[in-house]
């Protein structure tokens, strides 16, 4: 499977893979799509998506925003039919390699505290918890939650 930097022509496929992945993982938490066209186009202007090409559709993606010597990683998404086959790990490796190659020394991310499977996924890759942040007030959640911030030194 090829991983490449996305372009604006990939926006619809990025939206589809993110929303399908997050709908499966976060249905207990929110009752809406995770992203829309405006958000994805805005993110494409500020940062980059790395995408994994599948046979007919994108199999997965991850968002990267380079911020000086730090990179921010978000929206790691693997199509539900492709999950549990190592693609999320491969996207993480490529994102870290890309960011380190661009001069970043650290990778930052945040996860929802209620996603019990995520801390171990990221800890296994060398990330440590660095703090918390509030859940966006404009996103109505079914239960109270917050973000857990995590970081890793690259290289």
The structure tokens 């893979």 sit at 17
Highest mean pLDDT among 104-108, 115-119, 134-138, 139-143: 104-108
| Torsion sign, CA atoms 143, 24, 111, 48 | negative
Domain ranges of the chain: 3-153
Per-residue pLDDT, 10:
96
CB of 21 within 8 A of CB of 79? Answer: yes
For strand 58-67 and strand 70-78, is the pairing parallel, antiparallel, or unpaired?
A: antiparallel
Per-residue pLDDT, 153:
98
Closest CA to 1 of 102, 86, 75, 73: 86
Per-residue pLDDT, 56:
80
Q: Tell if the pTM clears 0.75, that is, is over it.
A: yes
CATH topology of domain 3-153: Aminopeptidase (3.40.630)
| pLDDT per residue as tens digits for the range 31-87 | 999 999 999 999 999 999 999 997 788 999 999 999 999 999 999 999 999 999 999
pLDDT confidence tier of residue 12, bands split at 50, 70 and 90: very high
CB proximity list for 116: less than 8 A, separation 6 or greater = none
Percent residues over pLDDT 90 in the chain = 92
The structure tokens 């589809």 sit at 16
pLDDT confidence tier of residue 16, bands split at 50, 70 and 90: very high
């Amino acid at each position: 499977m090829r991983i490449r930097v996305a372009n604006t022509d990939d926006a619809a496929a990025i939206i589809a893979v993110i929303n399908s992945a997050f709908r499966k993982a976060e249905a207990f938490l929110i009752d809406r799509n995770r992203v829309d066209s405006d958000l994805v186009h805005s993110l494409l202007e500020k940062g980059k998506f790395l995408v994994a090409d599948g046979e007919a559709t994108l199999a997965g993606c991850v968002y990267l925003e380079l911020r000086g010597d730090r990179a921010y990683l978000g929206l790691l998404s693997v199509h539900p039919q492709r999950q549990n086959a190592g693609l999320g790990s491969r996207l993480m490796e490529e994102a870290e390699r890309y960011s380190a190659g661009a001069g970043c020394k650290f990778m930052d991310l945040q996860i929802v505290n209620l996603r019990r499977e995520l801390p171990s996924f990221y800890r296994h890759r060398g990330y440590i918890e660095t703090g918390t942040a509030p859940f966006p007030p404009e996103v109505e959640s079914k239960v109270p939650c917050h973000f857990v911030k995590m970081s890793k030194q690259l290289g």
